[in-house]
Amino acid sequence: MNLTTTEPAQTAIDKAKRSIASLHQLSDWSMNGAALIQISIQDKVVHVGASTFQDNTQRLPASNFVECHGDTLPTVPAVLTGACEHWGAFSLPGRSWSVENLAARTSARLSLDGGPSFARMSICRGKVTMQEYQAYCGDNADDDVAPLYIFDPDILTGSFVNGAHVQDDYAVPGCFSSDVMACLTGSRFRPLPPAWLLVGVTRSGTPIHDHPLTVAWNALLVGCKLWCCLPPDVDQSLLLLNLDDDDDEEFDKSAIDWFQQIGDLPKEANIIVQRPGEIVFLPTGWFHVVLNVETSTAISVSLTLRRDLLRVWPLLVAEDVEFARGWLQGLEKSMENGDDTGVSLEDMSTMVALLVEKEAEGGAGE
């Protein structure tokens, strides 16, 4: 008698997990019977387990910032309002660009991110359709210790199933329309696109990190997000990173674990309870961790403002001369082509001088 054993059918998310972290079992992703960390929200207050977070961040009309280079944007995190009102993606708040709406309008396979620390350290990425992610939101996400979320750039340059262009559903606010790093997009120095679609089920989120060279704007279309933003000079212990490379401890914590374990925050911390139609603006260098309080959809874009160029340039020159040289050459070519980079000839001269000085130091040391 031949006996056969039938293994449980794997979902699309299971297969993606295998692709993301092939050395780990599916059980490694699981709560394994542990109690869920409870999240609740009351107006501008979010409770994550026993921890409470009160929104303390200024709201400003996006219409205050009309200059295309963003020179007058705040130097600390802020929430911009009123920019999404006429977007097709926001024509029916809470319904347009919801998981259900996008599942009905798209068929592309989308990249996943998040998960436990071992998954985030992998260079592999799994992909699922929005329909498959919708099923995950409804049935299986609560089984995961750190749920996956969609983090995909390609859909924003694609089309819906009816042929309409996705980009036609939203617009870049004027103050973010000029990116002095645009000349590097698609190059080996900036291989990843600057704009991404984020769709995340409750409890998913982005671990603590920073953007040393770029600012970011994040437009929330559906759901609710909890942000904690910490200044560049923050006490490193507040990041809750395993900087000692202890093999018994995860390098970084998932967003929900971070919010549950952080304890007291410094007065400089910006807490944001983001609602649909609000755009979070994050200046360069600010550390931030983001938790999906509700299943959420957002567009996130990174760019470099011309006002920040001379400030970040010495840091880049000190750490990566080749990158700095490539960026400078890209700017020079853009200016030769008549593009409005917003960078003055005086600033270019300062950048060249710093780069030449650094390269001379390197040559003297050889």
Of 260, 151, 137, the C-alpha closest to 202 is: 137
One-letter identity of residue 182 = A
DSSP H helices, 209-283, are 255-261
Distance CA 58, CA 60 (A): 6
Residues with Cβ < 8 Å from 99, sequence gap 6 or more? Answer: 130, 133, 134, 137, 199, 222, 295, 297
- Which runs of consecutive H residues, i.e. helices, occur in the chain? 12-20, 99-105, 117-120, 130-139, 255-261, 306-319, 321-336, 345-364
pLDDT on residue 199: 98
Phi and psi at residue 360, to the nearest 5°: -65, -40
pLDDT of 67 reads 86
pLDDT for the residue numbered 120: 81
Distance between CA 74 and CA 58 in Å, rounded?
A: 10
* Contacting residues for 361 by C-beta, under 8 A, at least 6 apart: none
Each residue's pLDDT expressed in tens, for the chain with a length of 366 residues: 444 444 556 899 999 999 999 899 999 999 888 888 999 999 999 999 999 999 999 999 999 998 889 999 999 999 999 999 999 999 998 899 999 999 999 999 999 999 998 898 665 689 999 999 999 998 789 999 999 999 999 999 999 999 999 999 999 999 999 999 999 999 999 998 999 999 999 999 999 999 999 999 999 999 999 999 999 999 999 999 876 666 656 778 999 999 999 999 999 999 999 999 999 999 999 999 999 999 999 999 999 999 999 999 999 999 999 999 999 999 999 999 999 899 999 999 999 999 999 988 865 444
Q: Note the pLDDT of residue 126.
A: 93
The answer to whether 296 and 223 have CB atoms below 8 angstroms apart is: yes
HEC profile for 8-74? CCCCHHHHHHHHHCCCCCHHHHECCCCCCCCEEEECCEEEECCEEEECCCCEEEHHHCCCCCCCCCC
Q: What is the CATH architecture assignment of 48-239+253-304?
A: Sandwich (2.60)
- pLDDT number for residue 68: 86
At residue 213, what is the residue type?
A: L
